[in-house]
Amino acid sequence: MDNLFVYLEIEDGVVADVSLELLTKGRSLANQLGCKLEAVAIGDNLGTVGKQVFPYGADVLHIFDDKRLSPYTTLPHASILVKLFKEEKPQICLLGATVIGRDLGPRVSSALGSGLTADCTSLEIGDHEDVKTKKVYKNLLYQIRPAFGGNIVAWIVNPDHRPQMATVREGVMKKEIYSPIYAGEIVEHNVDEYVSDEDFVVSIIDRHVEKSKVNIKNASIIVSGGYGVGSKENFQLLYELADVLGAEVGASRAAVDAGFAEHERQIGQTGVTVHPKLYIACGISGQIQHIAGMQDSSIIISINNDPNAPINNIADYVIIGDVERVIPKMIKYYKKNTK
């Protein structure tokens, strides 16, 4: 009872980074609360999951191993979590803010009547006093997230309902081994006690999952474009510069919405959070929702013909000029100076 649970996302027996990041965060929150950290693995071919998650500090690993549970579908995974949570009564449940986590989390929260906060960028423990009743709640989970297109940050609490549920995007929390020899306990569950035949009415006819070719999360240099780049054709310039520098290409939400770049390149609160050593922002005005996803870059260069673009305030170098003229010059002088 009252422990902290993390739902593990698993593909081909491998636990996703986002889940390991949540275990790392969960471990530090559990230490603060003095409770156990428990992980839930639902799927097929889960033999090595224990080895993968115990070094991150999981005290208990719940295993639900059944061929029918992989690939993920909503209903059986939701049924398992709902029943498990009714039995175990966790105080907190964390899920990745991924396609799976954002499909599963709300279904489970609705069934349990508990609150869920999506896409948290920070999680903390603290007390809360209800403004009206003056009742004081000890050690609640502060679920901190951007709202309103990133223009404000909201601190959300769930005073009266358990578990306090939150999703977090990949890359927002740090993944860190807690102890390489940490020993947890494995609890194998009988899947049939948790699911019914009706949970399997949705069938997956076909599925193409590819390892993403885009790896902006771990890139050390990112050339990123905004709406100001102007067109998909102009984005080619960014690829050319990225190619020369050994960089990845990123994009703002506005550029993605305009069809200049693929969704998986989106950087910001509704995309990926990055912290490269060099971030070159091309024609990006710098809406808060974008800046929040890249402000931790070591060096920021902004190329913009608007001297007052908000992003210039956080840039180390501001080049006032046209992306179409500046990038070819950067390529030219990079080549000249590295010869």
Partner 1 sequence: MTFNIIVLAKQVPDTRNVGKDAMKADGTVNRAALPAIFNPEDLNALEQALGIKDQYPGSKITVLTMGPVRAAEILREGLFRGADDGVLLTDRAFAGADTLATSYALSMAIRKIGSFDIILAGRQAIDGDTAQVGPQVAEKLGIPQITYTEEIQKIDLQKVRVKRRLENGVEIVECPLPALITVNNSARACRPRNAKLLQKYKHARTITERQAESIDYIDLYSSRPYLNLNEWSVVDVDADPKLCGLSGSPTKVKKIENVVFQAKESKRLTESDEEIDELMKELIRNHTIG
91 to 150, contacts with partner 1 by CB under 8 A?
A: 98-99, 102-103, 105-107, 109-111, 113-119, 128, 130, 142-143, 146-150
Least distance between partner 1 and beta carbon 54 (Å): 26
Query: 3-class DSSP state for residue 245?
Result: helix
Burial degree of 289 (CB within 10 A; 0-12, 13-18, 19+): buried
Q: Which is nearer to partner 1, 136 or 177 (CB)?
A: 136
The residue among 31, 242, 58, 227 whose CA lies nearest residue 139 is 31
Token pair 């349990």 is found at 112
Least distance between partner 1 and beta carbon 50 (Å): 25
Q: How many CA atoms lie within 13 A of 175 on its CB side?
A: 16
Amino acid letter, 261: A
Q: Applying CB under 8 A, which of residues 13, 217, 221, 275 lies at the interface with partner 1?
A: 221
When asked if residue 228 is in the footprint of partner 1 (CB under 8 A), the reply is no
Q: Applying CB under 8 A, which of residues 193, 197, 206, 233 lies at the interface with partner 1?
A: 206
When asked if residue 250 is in the footprint of partner 1 (CB under 8 A), the reply is no
The residue among 301, 332, 331 whose CA lies nearest residue 319 is 301
Q: Which is nearer to partner 1, 52 or 164 (CB)?
A: 164
Print the binding letters for residues 57-86 with partner 1: x by CB under 8 A, - otherwise. Answer: --------------x-xxx--x--------
Least distance between partner 1 and beta carbon 274 (Å): 16
The residue among 67, 79, 62 whose CA lies nearest residue 3 is 62
Rounded distance between C-alpha atoms, residue 66 and residue 49, angstroms? 14
Quickly count: other Cβ atoms within 10 Å of residue 323's Cβ: 24
Quickly count: other Cβ atoms within 10 Å of residue 196's Cβ: 10
The residue among 68, 174, 59 whose CA lies nearest residue 121 is 174
Q: Which range binds partner 1 by CB under 8 A, 39-47, 60-68, 180-188, 307-315?
A: 307-315
Print the binding letters for residues 6-45 with partner 1: x by CB under 8 A, - otherwise. Answer: ----------------------------------------
Q: Which is nearer to partner 1, 190 or 203 (CB)?
A: 203
Q: Applying CB under 8 A, which of residues 68, 89, 161, 232 lies at the interface with partner 1?
A: 161
Helix-helix angle 99-112:74-88, to 10 degrees: 50
Identify the DSSP state of 131.
Answer: T
Token pair listed for 314:
């956080």
Least distance between partner 1 and beta carbon 216 (Å): 13
When asked if residue 317 is in the footprint of partner 1 (CB under 8 A), the reply is yes
Token pair listed for 193:
């006690």
Print the binding letters for residues 252-291 with partner 1: x by CB under 8 A, - otherwise. Answer: -xx--x-----xx----xx------xx--------xx--x
Q: Which is nearer to partner 1, 3 or 266 (CB)?
A: 266
